[in-house]
Structure 1
């Protein structure tokens, strides 16, 4: 069942049985609207100019990355926009692209719109990297860290597996979607992959500051300088740059507040779950800061029929042969979003 069809199904179920435990809300912005910072007011003297290079350095400082990387930190309008610039370049390079098949259908939509024919690999119940032998073509593996709906960061062993995959060919690179990493600095696995010199990191203010499609950074690898021109040709608007400057310099506390609120909501969900269901949530997902996705090895139909819990079937996220489902903690304890 795809996302739109499931949402229709969800609303019908809640209308008929409003006492169901709704563990299927996915709209972070609606759920946490009270935490979203207001846009900046223009000063009496008029709007000031914010430069992309200054924002890139501010972003690097926040995440404790070397400021000398600023020439590689491409300011954009978010992860989706960043992929929209990267994917056509991969198509021109005749690159092979691997996407997680059960994370976001939008990855595939963007890739196919760019003329790519991506392969896929599963992440549920655990990531399984592609095993195709390397050849002379450029080859890119996109992963999310932390991964949704897996609801956790890469383990040490999984990080080692990605590094081993990179070592098999000098033509291999990894694209890291770090939009759900709400902490600073970035997770150890992400930093280890950056240290290989073979990674491109995509990040934005979408989740941490609840401002989608506004501002992001694509941190290119040391050998990706030729991509810089494509990003410089598609900058954010001056208004978006001013908003991003305020978020980074004046509202740096917001991601922490988001993490704290999500922890409260997760505990609220756990308190309402039947013991059998709570025990099926992996410990790493329960312990991941800022997480609100919790996979369980129980089908969504079973959760609804036997436990009166409305969960997301895996098909909502794209491809995937896993029979389990995913719970979210955004809606609180009733059928209405908190």
Structure 2
């Protein structure tokens, strides 16, 4: 069941069974709309180089990297620039098959035929032998719908994968990392010198497709002109400047609200379902995805809980499902009413 199909199924089920516990809302922008900062009213120019340096300072990265910090309109836009370049250099691309269907859409639009690896119930890296071609592995840290950061052992496995060939590189989607600096695992992978980091204001500031940064490595220097030739609009740059300078605390507040919603969700779940949520997902800051090793159909029929089938996120052989904590039932008004 794909995303649009599931949204219609969810609407019909909740209408027919009002007593169902809705743990299947996925739209964080709708759920947290009151927290989103307003755009600025002014028209003063904002320069990309200044934004790149402000972004590096926020995440405690060296400002001398500003020449490699490409300002863009978000992770989706960044991949839309990177993927065509991968095709020109005849790179092999590995995508997580059960994280975000748009990865595949963007890859196919760029003329790539990616291979896949699973992340549920735990990430399993590709085992194929390296060859002479450039080889890129896209990973998300933290990962959805896994709902947690990569563990130390998983980061070590990624580093080992890189060391097997000088042609291997990483693409790290860090959009769900709402902290500053980035998670220790992400910094460890950056320290290999063989990673491209993608980040945006999409989740932390609740402004999708507005502003992001793609931090290139030495092997991708040829991409810089492509990014410089396709910048955000002046209005988007002004908004980004306001978010970084005047609303730096919004991601922290988003984390707090999401933690409160997750706690309210857990209070409402049957004990046998709650026990299936991994501890790492429950404690990951800013998380609202919770994998459980119970099929969505079983949760609905036997537990009265509406969950998201894994197929919404992509292809998977795992039989579990995903709970989310974004529905109105877990919001502040609902919590105050009890």
Range class of TM-score, shorter chain: over 0.9
In 1: Cα distance, 2:214 partner to 2:124 partner = 25
Please name the residue that 1:258 is paired with.
254
Query: 1:197-208 alignment to 2 at 5 Å?
Result: 197-208=193-204
Q: How many residues align?
A: 333
Q: Is 1:271 equivalent to 2:267 in the alignment? A: yes
Please name the residue that 2:210 is paired with.
214
Task: Report SS of the residue matched to 1:223.
Answer: helix
Q: Is 1:249 equivalent to 2:221 in the alignment? A: no
Task: Report SS of the residue matched to 2:170.
Answer: strand
In 1: Cα distance, 2:46 partner to 2:218 partner = 26
Instruction: List 4+ stretches of structure 1 deviating above 2 A.
Output: 332-335
Q: Is 1:284 equivalent to 2:280 in the alignment? A: yes
Q: Is the 8 A contact 1:100 1:143 kept in 2?
A: yes
Of 170, 174, 183, the residue aligned with 2:170 is 174
Of 305, 312, 316, the residue aligned with 1:316 is 312
Task: Report SS of the residue matched to 1:224.
Answer: helix
Q: Is 1:150 equivalent to 2:146 in the alignment? A: yes
**Alpha-carbon deviation of 1:223?**
2.8
Of 106, 123, 137, the residue aligned with 1:127 is 123
Q: Is 1:328 equivalent to 2:324 in the alignment? A: yes
In 1: Cα distance, 2:20 partner to 2:35 partner = 27
In 1: Cα distance, 2:153 partner to 2:330 partner = 38
RMSD of aligned alpha carbons: 1.1
Provide TM-score, normalisation by structure 1.
0.97
Please name the residue that 1:29 is paired with.
29
Q: Deviations over 1:149-200 (max 9, x none)?
A: 0000000000000000000111000000000000000000000000000000
Provide TM-score, normalisation by structure 2.
0.97
Please name the residue that 1:223 is paired with.
219
Please name the residue that 1:2 is paired with.
2
Unaligned runs of 5+ in 2: none
